Amino acid sequence: MMEIGRICVKIAGRDAGEKCVIVDILDDNYVLVDGQVRRRKCNIAHLEPVAETIKLKKNASHEAVASEFKKLGIEIKERKSKPKKERPKKIRGREKKEKEKAGKPRKSKKMPAKAEEGIESKVGGRTEKAPAKSGKKSK
């Protein structure tokens, strides 16, 4: 009963109640369907065969199925496919390091200024002067 070109009605899933045609027989339980439904693998238990058949080749294109459905007076909604976008290329290894170097400005290393008596340093937001080192040891 299930052969290529057999028109069926889907009775399960989101496409339930829509007409389809068997395009290919995959195994004992599954067939490839197309028509008013999305072209996909479908369980035979989810299909109700109708007495009508159409002449189709195995793995017929969607356009061939649509033209045969038009001859029978069954309307198929045209699907809009999204345009392919170019995916961003991953940068790895050496290229990544080179890109990071090019993007960041080089920081110059500044040495703290030395005062005559000692070295200034910032502690807790204020500047302190450290005593100058002398040759004498303190006890």
Query: Where do the domains of the chain lie?
Result: 6-72
Residue 51 has pLDDT above 60, yes or no: yes
* CATH code reported for the domain at 6-72: 2.30.30.30
* For range 71-97, the mean pLDDT: 80
Using alpha carbons only, how large is the chain's radius of gyration in Å?
A: 38
Q: What is the pLDDT of residues 3-20, one digit of tens each?
A: 999 999 999 999 999 999
- pTM, full prediction: 0.56
Alpha helices in the chain (DSSP H): 62-72, 94-103
Q: Which two tokens stand for residue 12?
A: 């399960």
Q: 10 Å Cβ neighbour count for 91?
A: 12
- Give the residue carrying structure tokens 């940068």: 91
Angle at 127 between CA 122 and CA 129, to 5 degrees: 100
Average model confidence (pLDDT) for the chain? 81
Angle at 66 between CA 61 and CA 69, to 5 degrees: 130
* For range 108-123, the mean pLDDT: 57
- What whole-number distance in Å separates Cα of residue 93 and Cα of residue 106? 20
* SS3 assignment, position 44: helix
